[in-house]
Amino acid sequence: METTRSIAHMDLDSFFVSVERLFDSRLDGKPILIGGSSDRGVVASCSYEARRFGVHSAMPMRVARQLCPEAIIVRGDFEKYSQKSHEVTDIVRESVPLFEKSSIDEFYMDLTGMDRFFGCFKLAHELRQRIIKETGLPISLGLSENKTVSKVATGEAKPNNERQIPFGQEKPFLAPLSVRKIPMIGEKTSQTLYNMGVKKVQTLQQMPAELLKATFGKNGNMIWEKANGIDRNPVIPYSEAKSISSENTFEQDTIDVKMLEATLTAMCEQLASKLRQKGQLTACVTVKIRYSDFETHTMQQRIPYTSADHTLLPIVKELFRKLYSRRLLIRLIGVRFSTLVYGNYQINLFEDSQEQINLYQALDRLNVKYGDKTVCRAVAMSVGRRRFNPFNGMET
């Protein structure tokens, strides 16, 4: 007989705003916008008080200020947010045997079998209380037999609360909710469903899976399953060791610093682009040098979570300059990004204008469509195109 799973989902409430309030209690209860203060900036996050005015993340700051003129704008500090995210991760790691960090502020935990010793909801509840007590951050919890229903349950429990959906109650729980509440149903998909007269999950549950497949292709089947509370996806164990990297062994050992820095630029651009394509962020950068006598040196630096090459490049170059001390011929150089998490924070929303965000997205689309280095920094043009191996996360 198959064991019923117990999957907990936890999500830190208005994470950036909550962290700012820890450092400045005057922000409590006020409408807060996190992001660039100029009209051309973008809202990275906003408080529940600001959301009541129709403000949401990724909205142009100009529009948000029109909707909520009394909002307090905070520029944001990704270093602080990264640090608090690491603190929560450490508590989760100490408390449960198997967890997935699906973004900077979101976790899944597989508690299957724990009910025999402790009670899954009791364990999840006590972990949530510990996080609140030790970090001062509000966090919401959902518990069910799969990831989709638990994530929706967390959303329904917010802010700063918890909800359990007993086994067998998944369909009735989801039925009255808007189709937008189902993970993976975004604006485009929901608009198509609205045009079909589908607004509530209950209608989706009653539709034949074949009809959804005909409309949305292979995603149609997934939408139908999620609407019916079916999700077999496992919790993927989180490891800070997971990384992507790129190495280059030169045909001839070299001390040409300009060529070495051009190579590092090309590697950094392509790895950062890979992160953005996968919707990932890195919090650790490592540079590696192997000299002609085969002596190998590495240096790493912890950084605030990012996937922007204009943030990563100066760090890579600085690590290289610190490492390259022997003035010997270099045989190999490499770059690695590790401590990866998934997150929709793609670039530096606190500094970048909408135009710069659009530029990054356009560059990524061109490089995906036509191949790496279709568009890149001029200095990297001199370096040959590199091939990415998806099986080991390495470039060759």
Domain boundaries, the chain: 1-165, 168-239, 243-380
Q: What's the rounded Cα separation, in Å, for the pair 121 and 124?
A: 5
Q: What is the pTM of this model?
A: 0.79
Question: Is 372 among the annotated ligand-binding positions?
Answer: no
pLDDT tens track for 113-141: 887 767 899 999 999 999 999 999 999 99
The three state secondary structure string of 198-227 is CCEHHHHHHCCHHHHHHHHCHHHHHHHHHH
Q: Give residue 378's pLDDT band: very low, low, confident or very high (50, 70, 90).
A: low
Report the pLDDT value the prediction gives residue 380, as an integer from 0 to 100: 47
Helix axes 120-135, 78-95, angle to 10 degrees: 140
Indicate whether 248 pLDDT > 80: yes
- Torsion, Cα of 177, 178, 184, 189 (10° steps): 150
Q: Are strands 106-110 and 99-103 parallel, antiparallel or unpaired?
A: antiparallel
Confidence of residue 211 (pLDDT cuts 50, 70, 90): very high
What does the pLDDT read at residue 306?
87
Sheet holding 72-74, edge to edge: 43-46, 32-35, 72-74
Pairwise CA distance, residues 92 & 254, whole Å? 46
Catalytic residue among 20, 49, 100, 106: 106
Sequence-distant (≥ 6) Cβ neighbours of residue 120 within 8 angstroms: 6, 8, 111, 114, 143
Over residues 154-182, the mean pLDDT reads 96
List residues bridging with 288 in a β-sheet: 298, 334
- Structure tokens given for 214: 């005909």
Separation CA 395–CA 386 (nearest Å): 6
The CATH architecture to which 1-165 belongs is 2-Layer Sandwich (3.30)
> Any catalytic annotation for residue 240?
no
**Residue 45: which H helix or E strand, with range?**
strand 43-46
Band of residue 169 on the pLDDT scale cut at 50, 70, 90: very high
DSSP state of 60: B
Annotated ligand binding at 11? The verdict is: yes
For 48-106, what is each residue's pLDDT tens digit? Answer: 999 999 999 888 899 999 999 999 999 888 888 989 999 999 999 999 999 999 888 99
pLDDT value at 183 more than 50:
yes
Q: Which CATH class is domain 243-380?
A: alpha beta
Give the residue among 7, 47, 5, 342 at the shortest CA–CA distance from 152: 7
77-86, 335-344, 370-379: the lowest-pLDDT one: 370-379
Q: 260 falls in which pLDDT band (50, 70, 90)?
A: very high
pLDDT band at 394 (very low <50, low <70, confident <90, very high): very low
Query: How distant, in Å, are the alpha carbons of 127, 181, 209, 361 from that of 226?
Result: 27, 11, 11, 29
CATH assignment of 168-239, given 3.90.45.10, 3.90.79.10, 1.10.150.20, 2.60.40.740? Answer: 1.10.150.20
pLDDT, mean over the chain: 87
Q: Are 11 and 139 in contact (CB under 8 A)?
A: yes
Q: What is the pLDDT of residue 377?
A: 52
